[in-house]
Structure 1
């Protein structure tokens, strides 16, 4: 999820992501009453089609029409929106299609009335704390099935389909009932972050075990520095740490148990118990950065940039989001979650995958233009434009021109991804079940504030899983 409350980015849900990203969907679920009024019907036939359909050619397979207009709305969070402006300028230059551009964090506020009235934009980066949840849009028939874009020829190699040029697994979070209806465009890694400069000054070695992590937090506390900072007003972020601990302790089976709504996903899971007890130890021993529970994402992150905490949890939009607040010699670094004893995954394992969902509404006025725009998003030229403007990677394999110099934080995520290899994991429940995700976040918020203990957290999370499992629609999703 992109994020300025990436949140996935949502993450988010980033990403307020992730989220954003990513994620990445972030936190507060929009009022369900509003959403149930979503315009339905997903056929994609519209009155304007005659004005927007041009001649299909090898280089323009959807027949995007020169002289037509494209309405683009982008979540202006952790990644900003300069990348989209660069895309739109290139689109206009090459195809003669001009764009109306909106960069905003108020996705629901600005777009819900348009979906309700049946005149949505053509392309939307649907992310941030005010994201319109993808599962809700899908249920209301408001999203275009993106298979035609994914099966179109790649811009870089017309002999390949677009889908065959993407990092494996990155389409998964955008799947609802077997259809890809959201393109999670940004390749995000989630975990801990620290300052290379601060660690060098203090003689700290980046920890690989949970005990070593706690030792650094305790040393930091003695020196008047917080141990762990988190973006307290958006519990999406502390769930990065909690859910990573559970995954690394219990392995991919622990991830699948939660995604697949297992009756022992939380209560009765040794991995879930060990993970939440470890995080609670940080709270109980007073190792959180003072005040972090009451801060927004940017407030916490800025204090971390001021060396007021050793670690912070976030996704890889962090560097771009904090560009203005980060001292030039800060040396931002990414760290996979340290390991509990007896963990099934190695230290190098990371939560990685795609965040920042881009959607094409089914009732978009310029469907050919929107589909061609998305096809070009998955070209090396546009992926490189994104890396330059947003300091992050996309889901396109080897998508960045090697001559582009990346910032230290982004470079460290590239190295972490290489070190992880196939040891990556990704939870799908936030994309499938936004209500359950919110309930788990709310439980984490209570735990971090010491209003509940780990046992109650497990109980509340299991109740959210059990409630979701009763919904017959949940049988259509399965993390294999």
Structure 2
């Protein structure tokens, strides 16, 4: 059925496409892993005569880091291996037919709004076990294993049921982004309390010089991330852990509804006109034109906007203000987590080449040059030290250092694509005044309960 749908040009939802394993080849049979000679220079035994394919999400980071840094670095040790490079803004649309048809690429940057469902991919056996990569000698020092060069959270975030399968490469920092020039020119101060934040929004609105706040209305993840970070600040890390674990009533917990209510007020009073109909690039470009003062985003923002940002703009970010004196977590708490996920296709023709490519990415050179090129930290320990940091990245790095252990995260977006879709849709309606905070929580809780009670859905736990 799946292959017939692909032949007819029909794109099925990936969760459905993964319901029946298709095997490694077009005939559904398992494909034997190609191997080469294992040596000190080739510890994973990559076959030196076989090509492999790299597919990169052409989003906030672009694809130049792969073409200009990682692929040339790989070739320094494997000059005979031909790399096919593909870049796309539509990962699922581009790759879904190939996975269903048994012809997946070796290496995939599964990112963006059109990313494939990791839970479904893993449930169907499409994602390779990366334990051999972790246990391999690092690119830089044969006496140090790859696992020992990584931040521990990278292994945690990339593990499913105790097996490391996904490489989250970028160490992303979230916050409220602004222009230091705009703030300085108008005497606006970074707020540290919610009352100060609302007062700043009112001041900016009254000035008429810019709209106070916006977010990518067409992609409400940007604002539901912010709501959930505030909820964790109010109620502590268990708020997000319960949401991830599909706990009954997790979305109706008081800290969650308090945060939703707080941002519903921002949506009602302080949003840039037309926000609901704008995507991330449009809202970000509006900020570069000083049409809006603040927007929530991740630390890839500066690189994504590099072609339209004025030279003296001065990107910077600040953590969410403290909601009240009874917050469970202090001012400076951040949503910070490994992100920008990569995986190796278990059923591809040359998966070992995909793992070796990752080993090159995780070198000091591969990670350090990535940081400089795209203004984003990586999960490789110390790779950013001594590197030239852009203003926004320097701001995010300083905020992360100040936060220390006070960082929060959630994982349901990667685990349960249906829940992510429901949260995004409901949050868009919340911010547009079409759903009350209570109705927002009810709607999302119903979807969470439905997934929890559906035995066909693979469950994960943190």
Residue 83 of structure 1 aligns with which residue? Answer: 65
Provide closer, same or farther for how the CA distance between residues 115 and 38 of structure 1 changes in structure 2, counting only shifts above 3 A: farther
1:96-107, aligned counterparts within 5 Å? 96=79, 97-107=81-91
Residue 132 of structure 1 aligns with which residue? Answer: 116
After TM superposition, give the deviation of residue 67 of structure 1 in Å: 3.6
Q: Does 1:415 align with 2:398?
A: yes
After TM superposition, give the deviation of residue 252 of structure 1 in Å: 0.6
In structure 1, which of residues 341, 345, 361 is the aligned counterpart of residue 329 of structure 2? 345
Query: What TM-score does the superposition give when structure 2 sets the normalisation length?
Result: 0.92
After TM superposition, give the deviation of residue 217 of structure 1 in Å: 0.8
Residue 319 of structure 1 aligns with which residue? Answer: 302
After TM superposition, give the deviation of residue 137 of structure 1 in Å: 1.0
Query: What TM-score does the superposition give when structure 1 sets the normalisation length?
Result: 0.89
Give 3-state SS (helix, strand or coil) of 1:171's partner. Answer: helix
Provide closer, same or farther for how the CA distance between residues 32 and 45 of structure 1 changes in structure 2, counting only shifts above 3 A: closer
After TM superposition, give the deviation of residue 174 of structure 1 in Å: 2.6
1:353-392, aligned counterparts within 5 Å? 353-392=337-376
Give 3-state SS (helix, strand or coil) of 1:418's partner. Answer: helix
Contact persistence 2:123–2:458 (CA under 8 A): no
Q: Deviations over 1:204-225 (max 9, x none)?
A: 1111111111111111111222
After TM superposition, give the deviation of residue 33 of structure 1 in Å: 6.9
Residue 22 of structure 1 aligns with which residue? Answer: none
Q: Does 1:291 align with 2:277?
A: no
Contact persistence 1:171–1:354 (CA under 8 A): no
Provide closer, same or farther for how the CA distance between residues 278 and 167 of structure 1 changes in structure 2, counting only shifts above 3 A: same
Size of the aligned set, in residue pairs, is: 446
Q: Deviations over 1:56-115 (max 9, x none)?
A: 112311112334322110001000111101211221232112211011112122211111
Give 3-state SS (helix, strand or coil) of 1:376's partner. Answer: helix
Residue 17 of structure 2 aligns with which residue? Answer: 35
Residue 158 of structure 2 aligns with which residue? Answer: 174
Residue 5 of structure 2 aligns with which residue? Answer: none
Q: Deviations over 1:425-444 (max 9, x none)?
A: 11011111111111111110
Residue 54 of structure 2 aligns with which residue? Answer: 72
After TM superposition, give the deviation of residue 475 of structure 1 in Å: 8.0
Q: Deviations over 1:368-418 (max 9, x none)?
A: 21111111211111101211221111111111251x211100111111111
Q: Does 1:301 align with 2:277?
A: no
Residue 231 of structure 1 aligns with which residue? Answer: 216
After TM superposition, give the deviation of residue 34 of structure 1 in Å: 5.7
Provide closer, same or farther for how the CA distance between residues 292 and 471 of structure 1 changes in structure 2, counting only shifts above 3 A: same
Residue 241 of structure 1 aligns with which residue? Answer: 226
After TM superposition, give the deviation of residue 271 of structure 1 in Å: 0.5
Q: Does 1:190 align with 2:174?
A: yes
Q: Does 1:61 align with 2:43?
A: yes
Give 3-state SS (helix, strand or coil) of 1:94's partner. Answer: coil
Contact persistence 1:48–1:366 (CA under 8 A): no
Provide closer, same or farther for how the CA distance between residues 472 and 31 of structure 1 changes in structure 2, counting only shifts above 3 A: closer
Q: Does 1:123 align with 2:112?
A: no
Q: Deviations over 1:264-307 (max 9, x none)?
A: 2122x1101211111011122x2111111110110011001111
Could you tell me which runs of 5 or more consecutive residues in structure 2 were left unpaired when the two chains were aligned. Answer: 1-10
Based on CA coordinates, which of the two structures has the bigger radius of gyration?
2
Give 3-state SS (helix, strand or coil) of 1:313's partner. Answer: strand
Structure-2 separation of matches of 1:156 and 1:89: 16
Provide closer, same or farther for how the CA distance between residues 354 and 369 of structure 1 changes in structure 2, counting only shifts above 3 A: same
Contact persistence 2:23–2:30 (CA under 8 A): no
Structure-1 separation of matches of 2:14 and 2:85: 28
Structure-2 separation of matches of 1:279 and 1:319: 24
Structure-1 separation of matches of 2:12 and 2:173: 26
Structure-2 separation of matches of 1:257 and 1:209: 26
